[in-house]
């Protein structure tokens, strides 16, 4: 297999690679090429533990073994970014030719999309991508060991970055204020009913927004402006799914959406009930955003949580046209948008 284009050609013995088998320095061999996954193993979609099992080892066959961990071609695209050299001649091995007669790494096309090491917004703004090319490339995950840069301007850049802990700090006082004000109009039992209604309704709103707004995908018009809007709203999350500062919604955007939802609900509910329902929706939203962050960067021995994490990451790494539920797969079951059996 040809070496990764443009990469530094350094040679390593298998014994030397084997010394890098811990979390502080994690190297692997794949197809006689050496990759440094030190900055990636904590972001591995299947969890860090899987990669730690193979630290310092040859993972060529393990990546092809569906019983260990199924890998799509996107996994090889991500792996390619961590190439550091070749296995020296005396330690090279001959591997079985995969089904199709072509090594998986050779099936990874050269990246002609955005340069993740440069500010992304102006690249998108000045782009001339066709819609077909844009949608294909934006849903092919890339990885950076650091947050990507959107804007060269530091002030604008800061507005695009939101740490996970800021969401409850921002929204909890608003939720409490709504409950306090609503209690002046309705008794506690009525407020509780409204709050529960809002909390449960969030699950359907979460699913609907993810499916019909964030994944408007095929319906966006041709043209750069439409692609820029799509990229800012949700495309960047699929492009860089492990960017820790872009896993929760920036308050400016979430507040804008919340005000529109509030305006709609004010036409339906009276004061008091409106406050309670909105408080329930906000609580559901906060739980959703924190859950979403955990699904990308957390780990658990709990089977239900691990299954939920795998379910969501299949949406990113296998099929972005299915699996729209984040906190549960309930509405995917109701509306028939669960993954096909072949995508499991």
CA distance linking residue 37 with residue 54, whole number of Å: 11
* 69 in a labelled binding site: no
* 297 in a labelled binding site: no
Tokens of 137: 């490339």
* 275 in a labelled binding site: no
The kind and range of the H/E element at 204 are: helix 188-208
Cβ-based neighbour number of residue 311 at 10 Å: 19
Q: What are phi and psi of 84, to 5 degrees?
A: -125, -10
* 143 in a labelled binding site: no
CA distance linking residue 39 with residue 44, whole number of Å: 10
* 71 in a labelled binding site: yes
CA distance linking residue 34 with residue 83, whole number of Å: 6
* 234 in a labelled binding site: yes
* 316 in a labelled binding site: yes
* 210 in a labelled binding site: yes
* 292 in a labelled binding site: yes
CB-based contact 17:35 (threshold 8 Å)? no
* 215 in a labelled binding site: yes
CA distance linking residue 284 with residue 224, whole number of Å: 34
Hey, which residues does 88 pair with through a beta bridge? none
Annotated binding residues:
44, 71, 210, 215, 234, 237-238, 292, 296, 312, 315-316
Annotated binding residues for Zn(2+):
210, 215, 234, 237-238, 292, 296, 312, 315-316
Annotated binding residues for heme:
44, 71
């Amino acid at each position: 297999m040809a070496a990764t284009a443009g990469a530094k050609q350094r040679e390593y013995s298998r014994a030397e690679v084997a010394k890098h088998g811990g979390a502080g320095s994690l190297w692997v061999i794949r197809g006689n090429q050496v990759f440094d996954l030190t900055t990636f193993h904590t972001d591995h979609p299947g969890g860090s533990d899987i990669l730690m099992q193979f630290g310092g080892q040859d993972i060529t066959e393990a990546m092809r073994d569906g019983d260990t961990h199924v890998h799509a071609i996107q996994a090889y695209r991500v792996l390619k970014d961590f190439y550091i050299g070749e296995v020296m001649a005396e330690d090279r091995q001959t591997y079985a030719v995969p089904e199709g007669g072509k090594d998986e790494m050779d099936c990874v096309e050269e990246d002609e999309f955005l340069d993740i090491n440069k500010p992304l917004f102006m690249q998108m703004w000045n782009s001339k991508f066709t819609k077909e090319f844009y949608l294909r490339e934006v849903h092919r995950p890339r990885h950076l060991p650091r947050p990507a840069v959107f804007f060269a301007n530091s002030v604008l850049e800061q507005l695009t970055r939101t740490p996970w802990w800021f969401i409850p700090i921002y929204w909890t006082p608003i939720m409490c204020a709504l409950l306090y004000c609503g209690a002046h109009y309705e008794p506690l039992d009525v407020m509780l009913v409204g709050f529960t209604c809002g909390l449960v309704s969030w699950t359907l709103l979460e699913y609907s927004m993810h499916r019909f707004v964030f994944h408007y995908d095929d319906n966006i018009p041709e043209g750069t402006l439409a692609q820029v809007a799509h990229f800012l709203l949700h495309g960047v999350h699929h492009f860089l799914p492990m960017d820790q500062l872009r896993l929760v919604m920036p308050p400016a955007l979430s507040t804008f959406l919340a005000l529109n939802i509030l305006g709609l609900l004010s036409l339906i509910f009276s004061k008091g009930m409106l406050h309670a329902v909105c408080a329930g929706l906000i609580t559901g939203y906060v739980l959703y955003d924190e859950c979403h962050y955990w699904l990308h960067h957390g780990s658990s021995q709990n089977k239900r949580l691990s299954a939920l994490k795998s379910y969501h990451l299949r949406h990113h790494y296998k099929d972005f046209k299915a699996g729209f539920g984040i906190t549960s797969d309930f509405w995917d079951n109701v509306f028939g948008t669960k993954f096909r059996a072949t995508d499991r």
